[in-house]
Each structure stands twice: as C-alpha cells, then as structure tokens.
Amino acid sequence: MRLAIIDLGTNTFNLLIVDVDVNKQYKIIFNDKAGVKLGKGGINNKIITPEAFLRALNGIAKHMESIQKFNAEKIIATATSGIRSTENGKELVTQIKKQFGIDVKIISGDEEAELIYRGVKQTVDFTEENALILDIGGGSNEFILVNKNGLLWKQSFDLGISRLLDRFNPSNPITRCEITEVEKYIDSQLNPLYEAVKKYKPTTLIGSSGTFDSIREMIIEQKGIKQENLINKNSYRINLFDYLSLHAELLKSTYNKRLSMKGLEFVRIEMIVLASIFVNFIIQKIGIKSLIQSSYALKEGLVDKIING
C-alpha cells in the first residue's frame, strides 16, 4: 500500500510518501515540505491570521499535487500546536476537508511526543544510558527521555520558535540583552523538565525535526563533507565544538548573512537564531556531553504506528 503522511506543523507542512509491504516494512518514496509559517503574527493571540490561513491552504495544494503524482492510495494527516492551540484552527481543518477531502486529526502534545519517539527510535540506537530527545517546532517543543528499554518520560511545552519570535521580535543581529531575556523566559517554563532530568540524568541530546536538520546541514557544508560519504543518512553525531562554533556564528549573524549560509533552509532563516539559543540553553543547563541529529520524527513515527499499532 502506498501511504501519504502529512504533518501539519506550525512552521512547515511536511509530506512523506511511503510504500508498505506485506512484512510491515516501509520504503520512503518521496519527502517534501512546504513553508507555511502558520504562527506568524498571531500564534500568541491564539489566532491563525488570514495570510497564514492562505499559506496553509497553498501548502496543502502543493502536497496534493505530489500525492496525485505518486498515486498514493491513502492520506493520513495530523495537526499539531499551530492548529490545536488556536481559536480558528478547527476552521482551517474544516476548510482543508472541504477543499481537498482530507481528514486532519488534531493531536495532543502528548501524542505528538510519542510519535516523535517512535520516529527517532528508527534511526538512533538507544543504549542503557538515558538520553533526552528534543523536537523543536514552531508552536511547541517536545522533550522525551528514553533508553534502550523504552520511553521514560515525555512532555510538550508551548515554547515553539514561532511563539518566541512573536514574543521577543529580536534585533538584527540579536543583542546580548535580548539573548538573556529569551533564556530567562525559557528557564522559567521548564521546571517539569528539570525535575525529570534530576531523576534520569541524561547526558546525550538527540535532536529531531527542522532545526537540527539545518544544524546538521550547515555543519556538513562547513566541514566539506559530501552527503554520499555519510555512513548513516538518517542520523548524524554532531561534534559539540562544531555546534558551539556554529551557534556563535548564528548569534552574530544578520538576516542577510543567513541568506547566504549554506545548508540553511530559507523557511528557517528567521527562526534559526532563537532555535539555536534554545538548543544551546538546554546543552548548558543540563550538562549535555554528546549531540545526535535524527532525520526521522513525527511523520515516520506515524508510519510506524499505522503499521505496528
């Protein structure tokens, strides 16, 4: 069976098309994303603006062309924070059903975290040591504590980068005072995470979704590594020194400078600085010693759940 998975995120709508065989194995046929910036201008007021509403419908239209091109037999669509936390999110879901015939399921933060875990575990071999998964989204960020025996703890926080961008609207480039203000706010919101970290003491951070994909690609470009030379295409162990050097570069960068940074997707140019501040804050606060990027996240986790229940 050929399945099309649409992950309606706050910053991007992600499409995954897979073939599932009789042995419950799947092969990725096509992968794409549409930048929709659903949270821009309204997320902290719990509103999807008319402009964002239109970008969302255009994003679905783009993906429908690919779905039809690849003759997917079934479409599964989920919506996360940018839709579940807004007053007119259900209106968008209704319009998508009316215009495209797609039933969109709005999932909770808890469900989102579980699907991310199921996606990441397909690409990263968990060990006896406890690790912390972080998925940075536009509307929410998910933290999941894991080891080889399974999922230990999970929670979704409304600290997505669209929310932070809307709240702080930083200078270009960001100032030291603004960085401090952002970090203080993040710190004030994460007490449940700190309690879990005290108990489980993770030293490895596993990052999934767009921010970490961009960090990986920028570092690979800087180091001159060819994609075909990577042993594992779906995960990458990021040298902490390389990340911290990139982080320092991002803090000094202007919007125009980031336009020319190789490996950085256009849709992330506005958000990557705040996203990196978030990542660096977690690394320093928790005492992370190693960093791994996973290319699989929610949509691959959803495929796993569909196949294996």
Query: Quick one: pLDDT at residue 226?
Result: 78
pLDDT of 230 higher than 90 = no
Q: For position 309, what pLDDT does the model report?
A: 87
**Angstrom distance (rounded) from CA 98 to CA 100:** 6
Interval 119-128: pLDDT, tens: 999 999 999 9
Q: Is the pLDDT of residue 22 over 70?
A: yes
**pLDDT score of 51:** 97
pLDDT above 90 (res 169): yes
d(Cα 132, Cα 291) in Å, to the nearest integer? 10
Q: Tell me the three state secondary structure of residue 265.
A: coil
2-107: which CATH topology? Answer: Nucleotidyltransferase; domain 5 (3.30.420)
Higher-confidence position of 234 and 209: 234
Domains of the chain: which residue ranges? 2-107, 124-298
**287-164-264 Cα angle (round to 5):** 75
DSSP state of 232: -
Judge if 2-107 and 124-298 fold alike in CATH terms: yes
Rounded mean pLDDT of the chain?
96
pLDDT for res 65: 98
pTM over 0.85: yes
Concatenated DSSP letters of 102-166: PPEEE--HHHHHHHHHHHHTTTS---SS-EEEEEE-SS-EEEEEEETTEEEEEEEES--HHHHHH
pLDDT at 227 > cutoff 80:
no
Q: pLDDT at residue 229 above 70?
A: no
Q: What is the CATH number of domain 124-298?
A: 3.30.420.150
Task: Encode pLDDT of 198-217 as tens digits.
Answer: 999 999 999 998 899 999 99
Q: What percentage of the chain carries pLDDT values higher than 70?
A: 99
Residue 231, pLDDT above cutoff 90:
no
List beta partners, residue 307.
none
The reported pLDDT for the residue numbered 153 is: 98
Q: How many angstroms separate the CA atoms of 164 and 161, rounded?
A: 5
